[in-house]
């Protein structure tokens, strides 16, 4: 748990708000899961975008995340702080990408959420490699992008088999 001084420092700058997922990363239990859940709210709006604009939004969110997470890592002096969850937002949005052109029911959203959390926690290669070997804001973001890609691929396969 972050002390009051560090929380104030984080929330005194826009990068801190973004990096901490607008406060969702301060959850005392499973901040990564809380961040992934919080990511579902903006996704409900993002999913209405045509695919090229959705992809652009995710790429811009990734770039914004590199900046914000790098700033937060510098303030907190921790390589990948648990309170920093913008990476979960972007990874979750990648995992949910197959639902842009396939079924959108709550159960499918839940499946994408679970798959992303499984790949983010299990960290199969190259997720684990990025987590251990790439530093700074780029490193914080990259492992969740890989986890999101694994989850999106798994969702696509499940949805294809389901149909």
Cis peptide before 126 (omega within 30 of 0): yes
Q: Which residues of the chain have pLDDT under 50?
A: none
Minimal CA–CA distance to 82: which of 144, 162, 159, 147?
Answer: 144
Please tell me the predicted confidence (pLDDT) of residue 8: 87
Look at residue 1 in the predicted model and tell me its pLDDT.
56
Dist CA 134 CA 79 (whole Å): 10
Q: Are 134 and 121 in contact (CB under 8 A)?
A: no
Distance CA 49, CA 74 (A): 34
Question: What is the predicted pLDDT for the residue at 163?
Answer: 77
Q: Which residues contact 99 (CB under 8 A, 6 or more apart)?
A: 47, 108, 109, 112, 155
Percent helix, strand, coil in the chain (nearest 5)?
Answer: 80, 0, 20
Nearest to 113 by CA among 56, 61, 54, 40: 40
Give the C-alpha separation, 116 to 101, whole Å: 18
In tens, the pLDDT along 114-158 reads: 999 999 999 999 999 999 999 999 999 999 999 999 999 999 999
d(CA 78, CA 119): 22
């Amino acid at each position: 748990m972050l002390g009051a001084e560090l929380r104030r420092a984080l929330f005194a700058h826009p990068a801190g708000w973004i990096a901490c997922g607008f406060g969702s990363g301060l959850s005392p239990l499973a901040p990564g899961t809380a961040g992934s859940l919080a990511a579902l709210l903006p996704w409900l709006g993002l999913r209405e975008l045509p695919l090229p604009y959705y992809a652009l939004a995710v790429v811009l969110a990734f770039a914004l995340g590199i900046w914000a997470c790098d700033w937060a890592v510098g303030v907190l002096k921790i390589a990948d702080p648990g309170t920093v969850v913008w990476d979960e937002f972007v990874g979750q949005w990648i995992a949910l990408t197959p639902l842009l052109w396939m079924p959108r029911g709550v159960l499918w959203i839940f499946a994408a959420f679970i798959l992303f959390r499984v790949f983010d926690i299990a960290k199969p290669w190259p997720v684990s490699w990025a987590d251990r070997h790439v530093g700074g804001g780029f490193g914080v973001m990259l492992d969740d992008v890989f986890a999101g890609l694994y989850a999106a691929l798994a969702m696509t396969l499940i949805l294809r088999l389901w149909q």
